[in-house]
Amino acid sequence: MKILFILVFSFISIFPQVNVQETQITDGVIHKKIINQNDTLVINILKVDIKKPDLTIRSVKANELLNTKETTSQMVSRYKLSGFNVIAAINGDFFEADGEIISNMISNGEIVKAVKFSDSPFNSFTNSQFASDNEDNLFIDQFVFSGNLILPNGNVEEIRRVNSEADSNSITVYNHFQGKITPVSPKEWFVVDFVLFPLQTNGDTLIFITTAKTTLRNYEIPAQGIILSANNKFAYYLDREIKIGDTLKIIYNFSPKVKNIKSLVGGWPVLVKDGMNMIRRNPAIEGITEKFSEQRHPRSGIGFSSDKRTLYFITVDGRQQMSRGMTLLEFSNLMITEGIHFGLNLDGGGSTTLIINDKVVNSPSDLTGERLVGNCLMIVRE
């Protein structure tokens, strides 16, 4: 019996209890599932040849509105009902209680939210974000928004934000992602809203015609146009300078400069850069806390290979008997092991969700099941 026990123990040591399954979902898309009973981990990885001409990535806002939430499954179902062939989806950015995402977002080339600095209380600069352009070139960087309004007299004024709470003495733009009406502003502010409809696009310059202006609060946002909202000193100034029928120019920029951004979604923090583990290099990168980084949690992430051809969606289950989750250092190492050269941490915890062919393939940690989230990223066959 003693010899048998030693033989069995040796057998387990030589053949660890790790089950790896790879399934081809469709041409250019592979699902890899790792069940590691030794380390108590369940990992799901989706590998996508994003350069396949019929595959693309799309960022999707919950209900197509800034301040709402949906489950990732609900977003997939909604897009499929609209005629999209959705292959897979993963939850996206961190978000506020009402569903507003923390960082910048662009969906199908249209700004959902744009701010110079993220709304994260932990990071004094801006959180890292994932971006793709019209040709599905992939980027991960700390994108910073800047906007300019060019008046009929040629003067240039700064646009501080798009679809985000305005600060005093500033200019903000609202589009349909904000909702039906402009948001509430302090009663003591003097506010002037200008209704603008698009005329044409000239490179990165958007040209609008002014069709109305008002000092009424909570003004209706046109479905095909925008509201240019100015408050306090800028409201007095623009009320004098802009007349109905005037042509205005607006330029939106993100630094570093990427032309024709189609999708932009935030995360926090960057995990892998040029194949290096950024958590190992700087444990407090982007202001992450020890509790967030060093405790094991469910994790979601996105990344891509050194040639920017292979895109990865990756989830690690946690807070469960079958899977303990990972620290950010472990998650970064996993990304590098799987071939990720640039990787970004997405919202994790109870938000962690990966869907393939309409099925949630991971195990969300909330007792109530899949969590309502602010946005997601989808792989779509066009």
Q: What are the structural domain ranges in the chain? A: 16-142+259-381, 145-255
3-state secondary structure of 382: coil
**99: amino acid identity, one letter:** G
Range of weakest confidence among 77-86, 102-111, 189-198, 217-226: 217-226
Which strands form 138-141's sheet, in the order they lie side by side? 110-113, 105-107, 261-266, 129-133, 138-141
pLDDT tops 70 at residue 7? no
Identify the pLDDT of residue 119.
83
The secondary structure element, H or E, covering residue 14 is helix 2-14
Banded model confidence at residue 16, pLDDT cuts 50, 70, 90: low
pLDDT band per the 50, 70, 90 thresholds, residue 9: very low
| Structure confidence at residue 118 as a pLDDT band (50, 70, 90) | confident
User: What is residue 381's three-state secondary structure?
Assistant: strand
Nearest to 253 by CA among 124, 111, 138: 111
Contact 174, 227 (CB under 8 A): yes
pLDDT band for 6, please (50, 70, 90 cuts). Answer: very low
pLDDT digits (tens, 9 = 90+) for 54-85: 999 999 999 999 999 999 999 999 999 999 99
What residues contact 139, with CB distance under 8 A and at least 6 apart? 130, 131, 132, 133, 258
Tokens of 89: 């989806």
Helices marked H in 212-302 — which ranges?
233-241, 278-281, 290-294
Fold of 145-255: Jelly Rolls (2.60.120)
What tokens appear for 234 in the block?
A: 């800028």
303 to 60, 92, 287, 343: CA distances (angstroms): 18, 13, 21, 4
| Cis peptide upstream of residue 269 (ω within 30 degrees of 0) | yes
